[in-house]
Amino acid sequence: MTGTLILVRHGQSEWNLKNLFTGWRNPNLTEQGESEARATGRALKAKGIVPDLYYTSALRRAQHTLDLMLEEMGIDNVTIIRHTALNERDYGDLAGLNKDDARARWGEEQVLIWRRSFDVPPPGGESLKDTAARTLPYYQSEILPQLKAGKTILIAAHGNSLRALVMAIEGLTPDEILKREIATGQPTVYRIGADGTLAGKVEI
């Protein structure tokens, strides 16, 4: 028996478009982001995927993405579990700043370290290691048991909270996960075995 885990990063947000650090700030989707979410919903429907459980973060860009996907899949009247453990990485003092302005203020090398190191957080914020420290326990306690039982689970979340999950599921090193790009609106689908380990990937 294998479970199915579908990970979807939210569609393009208004702040993605403006090149701003977002983190726990709460912009909504752009028209492109809405289109990305709908396209993923149609793709999952075409594969005949019908999730048993739905998870998302406490941030509306992820929630809106999930709502649009469900609309395209023809699924309604379901319980959606929203939790801050699945929120994006908290960018602290960088949140709301244009990435070019941040480079001008702190220097390109320092901003690159904050963005692309595993365990160096920006001022007042979280590193990817910190993000994993809140995301993975939630996954292991709430989601993984359902996958082991053969359930199909859809998670709509964020680039870095999903990176934390991908790192654990695929057994990647900190260097490997930092090189992994997770595109807006694009699904990653895993088969998870009864022992909780990766049993394969599904192309969508």
What pLDDT tens digit does each residue of the chain (204 aa) get?
Answer: 899 999 999 999 999 999 999 999 999 999 999 999 999 999 999 999 999 999 999 999 999 999 999 999 999 999 999 999 999 999 999 999 999 999 999 999 999 999 989 999 999 999 999 999 999 999 999 999 999 999 999 999 999 999 999 999 999 999 999 889 999 999 999 999 999 999 999 988
Q: What is the pLDDT of residue 33?
A: 98
Report yes or no: 46 and 34 within 8 Å, Cβ to Cβ: no
Buried b (16+ CB within 10 A) or exposed e, 160-185: bbbbbbbbbbeeeeeeebbeeebebb
pLDDT of residue 26: 97
Residues 64, 29 contacting (CB under 8 angstroms) = yes
Just list the catalytic residues: 10, 88
Q: Which domains does the chain have, with CATH numbers?
A: 2-16+30-90+127-202 (3.40.50.1240)
pLDDT of residue 25: 97
Helix, strand, coil percent content, the chain, rounded in steps of 5: 45, 20, 35
Query: Would you state the structure tokens that stand for residue 175, as one six-digit string?
Result: 């260097």
CA 130 from centre of chain = 15
**pLDDT value, residue 204:** 86
Tokens of 133: 């420290």
